[in-house]
Each structure stands twice: as structure tokens, then as C-alpha cells.
Amino acid sequence: MPILVNRETKVVVQGITGREGSFQTRRCIEYGTKVVAGVTPGRGGEEMDGVPVFDTVRQAVASTGADCSLIFVPAAAAADAILEAAYAEVPLIVCITEGIPVVDMVRVKRYLRGSGIRLIGPNCPGVITPGQCRVGIMPGDVFSPGPVGVISRSGTLVYEAVAQLTSRGIGQSTCVGVGGDPVIGTAPVEVLRLFNEDPDTKAVVLIGEIGGTAEQEAAAYMASEMTKPVIAFIAGATAPPGRRMGHAGAIIVGEAATAQAKKEALARAGAVIVDSPADIGAATERVLRERGLL
């Protein structure tokens, strides 16, 4: 069974009438996602390609039963959009927006703590369960259904890894882009736990990057509880310390944030380490064959 989203997920798109929101909503619908509502304040009562538009998330949820929000709202208002979805008790919120001020996300994290509401992102490509549901901006044509879960702090590396897997006939159970900002809603270790508990996921590809200690947290979980093989790649091995490298979270501060420290922690926990993104597919196939999973 997939994690987070499936063919029954009902999506409300916040910012549906904007350029990016409307474009990606159409792609989600084409993929088969149940987009049941959109939200743009002041435009309630309109439609976007047959999808009803509401003024508030609460109205959209009450009318359609939406259980997942997909957010395409400019950075200055994105934190409030997340909180509006949380106030409406939407259980899964996926925020694509990049550039949200860190102080805003600290406020969001504080509110969500202990609520039971899960936030994916911000600054992420979203979540996709191949063949069932696309909630985000991922190019659906490179994904295929199968037994490998994918977790990534990098958006583009999700597509690269998945394209390699699909070309080798290895499908994916669910792929989750958690986001590259310093403060995100769901850490890689939390998604790793979901995959570990999913009976249909047989192995996990974990794509990390320099900055923070998310990979060490994942390694600690792997060492104590993970029962499935993990293939890991850490991006940013050649990045100079202290320099921002695309993602706000990809800044090396202290030894723990370096690529080498992350690789060593994951290797000690039993992960198969891949040194080049070009080798993710081959390494995954090898691990699956060695364990009789392919």
C-alpha cells in the first residue's frame, strides 16, 4: 500500500487560479489525481477547468471532503496558507512554495506540533504515488508503480533517481520530496519510518544533502529499527563550507553537516552508500537482486 497519498486522496489546491497553481492543477488532474476544490480568496463561486473555487479552505473542505491541500501561494502569504489548511483540519498539507521566511516556518512548526497534521515541504516537489496520485510538480511520466520508496531533500534528484529506476524496470511505491529549507514540516526520518511500516515497500532510496543533521537522525532510526535495505546518496560533497548551495538548508556549519559525516553515519547504520547520482539505479538493482527482492 502507498504512503501519504493514493487514488482516493481528495485534493484542494490553494492558489488554484494563479499561473503555477492552474498549470500544475491541470497536470495533477491529467495524472488521475482527484482535485476536488480550489481556493482563492475573493473568487469563490468560480470554476477552474470544472474544479469549484472557494474563498476559504474551511468552505472547500466542508463542501467536498478534501483531505489533502496542495499550496501554490507566494512566499509572503504561504505560511498563512499552511495555517489556514491546518485550521480547517486538513490532515495532509503539501507546500511547494520556496522562499518562505524561516521565522514564518518556525511559527508554523510550533502550531502543528502535536496536532496530527502532516506538512510536506515547503520548497519541495511534493508527493507522488505512481499510477495513483500526484500532489506537486513532479513529472509523472518518469514514475512507475513498484516496491521502492524514495525520499529526497532535493527535487531534481528525485526525478533523476526515479528515471534510472524506471529504466531498469524498478517501480516506486511512493516518492516524497521533503524540501530543502532549514525548517520543514516532515523530516526524512519520519518518511523512512512510514516506508518501514509499509508492507509493499521493499527498499528505500534516500537522497540527502549537506547541511543540518537530518541524515544522522535517519541513520539513528535505521540502526535501531529499520528492517529494509536503504540506498543512500548525499549531494554536495564538493561544496565549500559556509556557502549556500541552492537550498537554504544546504549550508555546512560544523563537521556534522558535511557530506562525509553524513555518509559515515548512514554507512554505520547499514545503508549502501552511492557516491555518484548516476549510480543510484544500478546500486538499487544490485541490492534488490542480492536480497531476492527483484
State pLDDT tens for residues 16-32. 999 999 999 999 999 99
pLDDT recorded at residue 242: 54
Residues 6+ apart with CB under 8 A from 179: 120, 121, 122, 123, 124, 153, 185, 249
* β-strand partners of 92: 68, 118
CB 35 within 8 Å of CB 26: no
What phi, psi does 14 have (nearest 5°)? Answer: -85, 120
Residue of 100, 103, 102, 217 whose CA lies nearest to 151: 217
> In the predicted model, is pLDDT for residue 136 greater than 60?
yes
CA distance 73 to 250: 23
Given the residues 10, 118, 153, 247, select the one marked as catalytic.
247
- For 34, 145, 265, the CA distances from 37, given in Å and listed in that order, are 9, 26, 43
Residue reference for cell 559525516: 261
Is residue 137 within 8 Å of 175, Cβ to Cβ? Answer: no
Residue in the block written with cell 492558489: 15
pTM above 0.85, yes or no: yes
Report percent pLDDT > 90 for the chain.
Answer: 86
User: Residue 287 pLDDT > 90, yes or no?
Assistant: yes
DSSP-derived 3-state class of residue 51: strand
pLDDT higher than 80, residue 98: yes
- Determine the average pLDDT of the residues in 188-198: 98
Domain annotation for the chain: domains and CATH numbers? 10-120 (3.40.50.720), 139-290 (3.40.50.261)
For cell 521565522, name the residue: 103
In the prediction, which pLDDT does 246 show?
52
The helix/strand/coil state of 88 is coil
Residue in the block written with cell 512507475: 144
Task: Indicate if 247 belongs to the active site.
Answer: yes
The yes-or-no verdict on residue 248 having pLDDT over 80 is: no
Report residue 28: phi and psi, to 5°.
-65, -45
d(Cα 66, Cα 279) in Å, to the nearest integer?
39
65-76 pLDDT, tens digit each: 999 999 999 999
- Is 209 or 197 the better-scoring residue by pLDDT? 197
Q: What is the mean pLDDT of the chain?
A: 93
Residues 173, 177, 183: CA angle, nearest 5 degrees: 140
CA distance 71 to 65: 17
Range of lowest pLDDT (31-40, 70-79, 235-244, 266-275): 235-244
So what's the pLDDT on residue 252?
46
Instruction: Return the C-alpha cell found at 50.
Output: 470544472
Find all residues with CB under 8 Å of 229, minimum gap 6, and list them.
203, 204, 270, 272, 287, 288, 291, 293
